[in-house]
């Protein structure tokens, strides 16, 4: 198999057919030896029906229907673990990523790169989303000591060995594109004009974005723990000097200033720091708990134009790769 294209599908059934058509027309300019893997992540709309229709028309389309909604990360992992191409591309289903850019990704990776990202030019997101995204990834790069480009989304193409090494990682919760940046392989980028979402709006509201940000930070680094240790030492030092100041004032002036406002402010500050730091520790403990359960990240209810046998063969290859 020359090229595999993995597409997690959720919430945009109207985009499935035009997405397939545009991907097919683009890949045929490279090779006829390809597969398109559409992973339905428990979408409550009619996405699976659209995938079934496309699979009945084109045997090179593999439809995977997860048993329920497991989230974009796990849907992506399901497709990646099934992919068998020498080159594997990942893209979103809403057509904000131009399928025609697969040509540019392929030509770029053929120059000898292992990973090629597509950077989104003229994103259609509002200013607040862009600002939060850029701020978060600047913080993320500092914490994980990485070089993640905030203009990079999920759209990318990698060599097969990269997918094998990623799938062999034993973590339960892992994000493909962020781990790619951490791996350090030969990487390049191409510019792709971002298009308007074909249907509806993103399912990632503020709460989901915040949860994703916390997961990414706590799964990739333990720096937040050290950060709160430093904050605790700093506030403790400030409190100690404040106590010394009050003692000196008592012996030099004979009385202690009332200072109830400052006292309450300091108590509230220290209390809030304690609560946040306990929350961070709790997140880490929760992550450890989830990892020790060793549960499967997703379940496949049905595969069209594919086979469970191939999935098990891929899982065996991944298991063997872990044992190297």
Residues 135 and 259 in one domain: no
Looking at residue 81, its pLDDT comes to 92
Residues 43 and 143 in one domain: yes
Which one is predicted more confidently, 275 or 300? 300
Q: What is the DSSP string of 144-189?
A: HT----TTEEEEEEEEHHHHHHHHT---SS--HHHHHHHH---EEE
CB atoms within 10 A of CB 250: 12
Please say if the pLDDT value at position 5 is more than 70. yes
Looking at residue 282, its pLDDT comes to 77
Q: Assess if residue 26 is contained within a domain.
A: yes
Please say if the pLDDT value at position 108 is more than 80. yes
Residues 132 and 191 in one domain: yes
Q: What is the rounded CA–CA span in Å between residue 88 and residue 35? A: 10
Q: Is 276 helix (H, G, I), strand (E, B) or coil?
A: helix
Which one is predicted more confidently, 146 or 18? 18
Residues 48 and 161 in one domain: yes
Residues 109 and 9 in one domain: yes
The least confident of 35-44, 72-81, 236-245, 256-265 is: 256-265
Looking at residue 116, its pLDDT comes to 96
Please say if the pLDDT value at position 123 is more than 70. no
Number of domains in the chain: 2
Q: Assess if residue 42 is contained within a domain.
A: yes
Q: Assess if residue 286 is contained within a domain.
A: yes
Mean of all residue pLDDT scores within the chain: 80
The structure tokens listed for 6 are: 């993995």
Looking at residue 247, its pLDDT comes to 73
Q: Report the share of the chain in percent with pLDDT over 70.
A: 70
| The Cα angle at residue 194 between residues 188 and 198, in degrees rounded to 5 | 135
- CATH number for the domain spanning 121: value is 3.90.550.10
Residues 155 and 46 in one domain: yes
The least confident of 62-71, 83-92, 224-233, 273-282 is: 224-233
Per-position b or e across 101-130, b if 16+ CB within 10 A of its CB: bbebbbebbeeebbbbbbbbeeeeeeeeee
Residues 115 and 153 in one domain: yes
Residues 142 and 269 in one domain: no
Q: Which of 37-51, 138-152, 235-249 has the highest mean pLDDT?
A: 37-51
Q: Is the dihedral of CA 265, 271, 274, 277 positive or negative?
A: negative
Please say if the pLDDT value at position 129 is more than 80. no
CB atoms within 10 A of CB 254: 7
Residues 74 and 142 in one domain: yes
* Nearest C-alpha neighbor of 128 from the set 232, 237, 206: 206
Residues 112 and 245 in one domain: no
Looking at residue 315, its pLDDT comes to 62
Q: What is the pLDDT of residues 175-215, one digit of tens each?
A: 888 788 888 899 999 998 877 766 656 555 666 666 666 66
| Residues spanned by the domain of 231 | 223-293
Q: Assess if residue 210 is contained within a domain.
A: no
Residues 38 and 150 in one domain: yes
What average pLDDT score do residues 137-154 get?
69
Residues 148 and 275 in one domain: no
Q: Assess if residue 209 is contained within a domain.
A: no
Please say if the pLDDT value at position 39 is more than 90. yes
Which one is predicted more confidently, 187 or 264? 187
Residue 90 gets which letter from DSSP? E
- The reply to whether the predicted model has a pTM over 0.75 is no
Q: What is the rounded CA–CA span in Å between residue 128 and residue 79? A: 32
Q: Write phi, then psi, for 271 (nearest 5 degrees).
A: -65, -40
| The Cα angle at residue 180 between residues 153 and 201, in degrees rounded to 5 | 20
Q: Assess if residue 218 is contained within a domain.
A: no
Looking at residue 26, its pLDDT comes to 96
Looking at residue 173, its pLDDT comes to 73
Looking at residue 25, its pLDDT comes to 96
């Amino acid at each position: 198999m020359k090229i595999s294209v993995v597409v997690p599908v959720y919430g945009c059934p109207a985009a499935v057919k035009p997405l397939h058509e545009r991907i097919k027309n683009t890949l045929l300019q490279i090779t006829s030896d390809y597969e398109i893997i559409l992973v339905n992540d428990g979408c409550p709309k009619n996405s699976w029906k659209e995938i079934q229709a496309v699979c009945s028309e084109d045997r090179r389309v593999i439809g995977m229907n997860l048993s329920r909604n497991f989230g974009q990360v796990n849907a992506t992992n399901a497709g990646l673990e099934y992919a068998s191409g020498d080159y594997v591309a990942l893209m979103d289903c809403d057509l904000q990523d131009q399928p025609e850019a697969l040509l540019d990704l392929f030509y770029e990776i053929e120059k000898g790169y292992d990973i090629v990202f597509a950077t989104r030019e003229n994103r259609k997101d509002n200013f607040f989303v862009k600002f939060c995204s850029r701020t978060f990834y600047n913080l993320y790069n500092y914490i994980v000591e990485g070089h993640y480009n905030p203009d990079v989304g999920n759209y990318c193409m990698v060599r097969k060995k990269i997918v094998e090494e990623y799938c062999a990682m034993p973590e339960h919760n892992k994000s493909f594109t962020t781990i790619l940046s951490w791996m350090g392989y030969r990487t390049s980028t191409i510019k792709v004009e971002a298009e308007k979402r074909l249907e509806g709006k993103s399912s990632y509201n503020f709460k989901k974005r915040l949860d994703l940000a916390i997961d990414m930070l706590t799964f990739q680094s333990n720096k937040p723990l050290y950060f709160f240790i430093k904050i605790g030492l700093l506030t403790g030092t400030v409190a100690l000097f404040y106590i010394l100041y009050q003692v000196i004032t008592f012996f030099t002036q004979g009385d202690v200033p009332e200072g109830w406002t400052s006292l309450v402010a300091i108590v509230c500050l220290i209390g809030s720091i304690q609560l946040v730091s306990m929350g961070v520790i709790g997140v880490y403990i929760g992550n450890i708990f989830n990892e020790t359960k060793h549960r499967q990240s997703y379940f496949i209810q049905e595969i069209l134009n594919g086979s469970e046998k191939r999935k098990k063969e891929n899982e065996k290859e991944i298991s063997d790769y872990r044992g190297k």
